[in-house]
Structure 1
């Protein structure tokens, strides 16, 4: 995989990778001072889709067999369930290990929901049904939009992994040429996870007791996303898992208290059904192959 990720690239692609990595860091930091920086960051995330389109093929190999729609669906459902389980463990760990961060985050969620509800209440009901509909959209819509864009942070991760590997290849050329490149991939995964945690603290000023908990908690989340990316070797599956998890978490703030858990339960049911169908398909193919071999042996 490392060889494929670091294969020659154009100067335009290298510039785009640097823009979506270093540029995102700068905009996130500036977001604490400027609302325009937030808008530019959103625009960068949207444009990163096209960079991801250029990079996602590097995760695979020419020898890989194309997956069927059912296999891709199984990959997504399995990845989502793994992330929900892992994030639950991380949340429990953070609650008991970083009490200040846990309390601050819970208070942030409560304050944010209260502010949104207060603003909606002050506006009052609209005289027109269409106006009332868009008031509701405005209340939650931007959060869902931001959650969708958050999935594209996995393009940021892949771009960073490629960038780190290119640097490692130049600096540690002898070790790279020896074929022991997995250690560089793991180092890139670890570094991007740390940066993922740090980036969740750049747009706000926090006491260090809260900031350390935030960095560690989100770095663990980032590591989990990174493992899913390398396991599935599918950028868009990881993007979808990230976006849907954030969306269901937001819905749990506003509408359904256990939206993440209920969605995960639905995904589990779908996963079991798809898994059963895939096993039945594999057995059918195996029996057909055995029949062909018997016919060939008889001839």
Structure 2
């Protein structure tokens, strides 16, 4: 059912829009290493992704399960965030051990990124400069979550191509292999995209590709598991926001938020099970 929904016919305008946020984003991202204008264009593509995602999100929704309640959505978010937090922690530990060159380069990137926060003198450390700094961080991290629209767009394109190339296998119902291929394809691209905007040595580049491809794989699995584009977008954005906060303001921001998400998940799960038990009693 999900593959059928994802491969519904696209209008020419929607196809063009998907190509802009996928292939167009790749091209612009590459040119970010040469010009700041490309960065502005990339931000514009990410903002437009919100409106394209609004048109596409219903394609991945499981219509047979009914409209989820606010509590169920909150459970999806907390559960998905915890999955991504645990998965990314394992990936980071693995990358630190397997790719020392990438780890060293990443630490240097974080240091350079955080230096402006720690070297501002008293004359420039005004209320508005702090607002500009925090606002810019939150803006960029929020836009990063919209990369999940990019992922959904690619998944749709890959499935449509597979449907055309392998019509017999598609009609026989062997479609899980196509979903898995689309998932791995977008994950690898997600890893490669994290190396497009800067020139890096191959040891660093390979470490970045493997690390971020694995994180992209987890986000893709969350998208397919929750059947919700916006839950996945928010998980991505919130993780990036808390990571930035941990770099500049509060060292354990990610871990603190994960703990809060875990506590909230347990509480919501308790309420959900209680409500389900009461519903069963009423029907009996």
TM-score > 0.5, shorter chain as reference: yes
Alignment partner of 1:260 out of 251, 254, 261:
254
Listed as ranges, the matches of 1:131-170 within 5 Å are: 132-170=126-164
Distance 1:256 1:117 in 2: 13
Alignment partner of 2:166 out of 144, 169, 172:
172
Residue matched to 1:293? none
Residue 68 to residue 39, structure 1, CA distance change in 2 (3 Å):
same
Residue matched to 2:175? 181
Q: CA deviation at 1:143?
A: 1.8
Larger displacement relative to structure 2 (5-14 or 198-207): 5-14
- Is 2:149–2:229's contact at 8 Å kept on the other side of the alignment? yes
Residue matched to 2:235? 241
Distance 1:282 1:61 in 2: 20
- Is 1:193–1:223's contact at 8 Å kept on the other side of the alignment? yes
Residue matched to 1:57? 58
Listed as ranges, the matches of 1:93-108 within 5 Å are: 93-108=94-109
Per-residue deviation, residues 100-152 of structure 1 (Å, max 9, x unmatched): 1011101110122113432x227534xxxxxx221101223212210000000
Is 2:3 aligned against 1:9?
no
Structure 1: which 5+ residue stretches go unaligned? Answer: 126-131, 291-299
Residue matched to 2:116? 115
Per-residue deviation, residues 217-267 of structure 1 (Å, max 9, x unmatched): 000000000000000000000000000000000000111100000011111
Distance 2:206 2:101 in 1: 10
Residue matched to 1:33? 34
- Is 1:25–1:199's contact at 8 Å kept on the other side of the alignment? yes
Distance 1:206 1:151 in 2: 24
Number of paired residues? 283
Distance 2:63 2:268 in 1: 26
- Is 2:62–2:227's contact at 8 Å kept on the other side of the alignment? no
- Is 1:27–1:38's contact at 8 Å kept on the other side of the alignment? yes
- Is 1:4–1:61's contact at 8 Å kept on the other side of the alignment? no
Distance 1:133 1:88 in 2: 34
Distance 2:123 2:37 in 1: 25
Structure 2: which 5+ residue stretches go unaligned? Answer: none
Distance 1:55 1:89 in 2: 32
* SS of aligned partner of 1:105: helix
Q: Tell which structure's C-alpha radius of gyration is larger.
A: 1
Distance 2:133 2:58 in 1: 38
Residue matched to 2:223? 229
